[in-house]
Every structure is written in C-alpha cells, then in structure tokens.
A = this chain, B = another copy of it.
Amino acid sequence: MMTLTKVAVVLMSGGMDSAVAAALVRQQGYELAALHVMYGHRTAGRERQAFSDICSTWGIVRRLEVSIDYLRAIGGSALTDPTLPLPEGRLDREGIPPTYIPFRNANLLSIATSWAEVLGAGAIAIGAVEEDSSGYPDCREVFYEAFQRVIDTGTRPQTRIQLLTPVIHFRKSQIVRAGAELGVPFHLTWSCYSREDIACGECDSCLLRLRGFREAGLPDPLPYARLPQWV
C-alpha cells in the first residue's frame, strides 16, 4: 500500500465550519481527499450541491460521497425524523438540543478512517466546534482525543492517521475571519437546517452563522428569507 503522508481525508458537509477546516488543512500542505456523507437529513440535497461546488472551486478530484440512510432509520433527531419538529432557533439553549443525531460523528470518523487507511492518507479532519456551537457531545475535544486512540488501536500496525480538528476551539467569528483570509467561497457553503432554496435565518444553524459574521464584522454573502433584528 502506498503511503501518501501529505494526503488528508477531510469531512466536508458543505457547511461553513468544515470548509474553513478544509482550507486550514490545505494551508498546512495536505492534499485533500474530500468525503461527504449523506444521512437522510432534511437539507441533504442542498448540502451535497454545496460540497460539489466547493470541491470544484478548489480543484479537489479525490472525492467520495457516501450515503448512510441507517441514521434516518434509527432516528432520534429532529434533523433526520420529519415527525419531530425543528426547535425554534435560539442561541441560549441549555443541554443537548433535539437536532443532536446520536453518535453521528463517530459514524463519520469511522468512514473517514476506513478510507484514509486504504488511501494511505496521514490524516483525517473534521470541522467540529466545541464551545461556540450547538452543544453536541460528539463535538467536544475529549471525544476526538478518545477517537484518536481508537484509530491507533483499530488499524494496521504500520498505519499512522492523525485526527485533525483545526477549528475545535474557534469562535464562529474566528472561523469567518480565517475563512475570509484563506479565500473560502462562503457564497457556495450551506448552513441552514431547515430550507434548501434560501436560508431561513431562523434555525440554530443560521443564527450561529449570522452571529459569526456579525462578530467578525463581515457580510454573509448568502441571502436569507428573514433576518433576526440584531443583524
């Protein structure tokens, strides 16, 4: 098996955080292999389009699109179960929000690691954000430290895959600024949990994004159906 230590498998949802994470990994000198996972969630089609557009802009030819419908069959999240209502957007919620998809990121990292081991890639990367985000347990650094050990013990002895979380401690405004410096095509990214035609401006994900742009002092190039008063 080849060893291309400067290849990194990057999980790219089509959203802002993973696009900036990918740009930071690219800046470190890695060639990107882009992995997009669809799991039957509400805005899967629009995110896939965003993923494809970003990859084309950056000339990423090594791409893998994976569909794991079982997360929808398993349910338990307002993002994959259409019978559960999306919560009203708010940024001061306590606890785990109903949009949490149980153990989703372990599923994504496992796919990324399988692909990385076959490619001989030296890293996998994910755009998880710990503090300034939705409060999902699988977005915390402690989870990624634990997963690194799973990679080290569950792959071939000669396999070395580093798990990168380049934006884990960024505030959203730092993500916006870093992306702007690195030329991330924010107009191609998609963050809305709710709509696929135009961003709603009301769900948690739109509110987090809008607050990030506001705090960074930069305009969000996406059009919104409705903007909160503070924008």
Q: A interface vs B, CB < 8 Å?
A: 1, 64, 66-68, 70-71, 73-76, 96, 100-107, 109-111, 113-115, 117-118, 137-138, 140, 142-143, 146-147, 149-157
17 further A-B contacts with Cβ under 8 Å, apart from A64-B74, A103-B114, are A64-B73, A74-B118, A100-B156, A102-B113, A102-B114, A102-B118, A103-B110, A103-B117, A104-B114, A105-B154, A106-B113, A106-B150, A137-B156, A138-B153, A143-B150, A146-B152, A149-B149
For the complex formed, measure the closest distance between the CB of A228 and the CB atoms of chain B, giving whole angstroms. Answer: 28
A144 to B141, CA, bound (A): 20
Chain B residues contacting A143 (CB-CB under 8 Å) are 150, 153-154
The count of identical subunits is 2
* Residues of B with C-beta under 8 A to A154: 103, 105-106, 137-138, 143, 146-147
List B contacts of A1 (CB < 8 A).
Answer: 76
Indicate if the CB atoms of B111 and A107 lie closer than 8 Å: yes
Write out the residue numbers on chain B whose beta carbons fall within 8 Å of the beta carbon of A64.
70, 73-74
| 15 pairs, A vs B, C-beta closer than 8 Å | A1-B76, A68-B70, A102-B113, A102-B114, A103-B155, A107-B110, A137-B153, A137-B157, A138-B153, A138-B154, A140-B153, A143-B154, A146-B152, A147-B150, A147-B154
Q: Output the nearest chain B residue to A101 by Cβ-Cβ distance.
A: B114
Known contacts A115-B74, A150-B106; decide if A96 and B66 are in contact (CB<8 Å). Answer: no
Residue of B nearest to A77 (CB): B118
Q: Are A150 and B150 within 8 A (Cβ)? A: yes
Complex Cα spacing A67 to B73, Å: 11
Q: How far is the CA of A155 from the CA of B105 in the complex (A)?
A: 10
- Measured CB to CB, the nearest residue on chain B to A147 is B150
> Is A118's CB under 8 angstroms from B156's CB?
no
Output the nearest chain B residue to A153 by Cβ-Cβ distance: B143
Instruction: Give the Cβ gap from A4 to chain B, nearest Cβ, in Å.
Output: 14
Nearest first, the 6 closest Cβ-Cβ pairs linking A and B are A76-B118, A102-B117, A138-B154, A146-B149, A143-B153, A66-B70
Assuming the A-B contacts A64-B74, A102-B117, A103-B113, are A96 and B146 also in contact, with contact meaning beta carbons closer than 8 angstroms in the complex?
A: no
> In the complex, A76 Cα to B115 Cα: how many Å?
9
A117 nearest in chain B by CB position: B102
